[in-house]
Amino acid sequence: MLKHRGFPGRLPSTDHQFVIRRGNAKGATPLVARERYRDRSPSDRRADVGFLAALIEHFGDEPFERGNLDAGRLSWLLGREVVAVGKLDPRSYEQLLRVDLARARASFPEIFAGHDAPDFGWEQADDEQDDDFGDDSGEERR
């Protein structure tokens, strides 16, 4: 499973995770396109915005491997702002995905608002993540 180094581990000051630490021995949690209803909590909506903003900042519109990105968080965007490259294998850590920037801009215009765009404090969150994000061998990165 590819680990996306430098990708935010979670939305700062919340429990909304963006990445997983290690692959599931029973196989990857399947990706399932989830319906976003209007009555979702504000923190869930902010997590969607933050995760999509991180995807755009990290990958742009280039294809990327699912790797250690959280299946639940991806599922809220799957089939709309995040699309499969080729046929979707929902249980594969190697599945290629890409951000559909046109759909992202239509659904989340605040990400593209320039100086009015939300500040998620990624720099601060990246520093915290690097301190405790070990590799598969159980050793801490230095």
What does the pLDDT look like over 85-120, one tens digit per residue?
Answer: 999 999 999 999 999 999 999 999 998 876 555 666
**Whether pTM exceeds 0.85:** no
Averaged pLDDT, 36-47: 89
The answer to whether 99 touches 59, Cβ cutoff 8 Å, is: yes
With H, G, I as helix, E, B as strand and everything else as coil, classify residue 78: strand
d(CA 104, CA 124): 25
Averaged pLDDT, 60-79: 93
d(CA 97, CA 85): 5
Amino acid 116: pLDDT: 59
With H, G, I as helix, E, B as strand and everything else as coil, classify residue 139: coil
Amino acid 131: pLDDT: 44
Question: CB-hemisphere CA count at 13 Å for 127?
Answer: 3
Q: What is the DSSP letter of 140?
A: P
d(CA 39, CA 42): 9
Q: Is the pLDDT of residue 8 over 80?
A: yes
Task: Give me the chain's average pLDDT, please.
Answer: 82
Q: Is the pLDDT of residue 128 over 60?
A: no
Percent of the chain predicted with pLDDT > 90: 46
Amino acid 141: pLDDT: 38
Check the CA dihedral 101-105-110-113 and report its sign: positive
Q: Is the pLDDT of residue 27 over 90?
A: no
Amino acid 106: pLDDT: 94
Amino acid at site 8: P
Q: What are phi and psi of 9, to 5 degrees?
A: -75, -30
Which residues partner with 99 through β-bridges? 82
Q: What are phi and psi of 2, to 5 degrees?
A: -70, 130
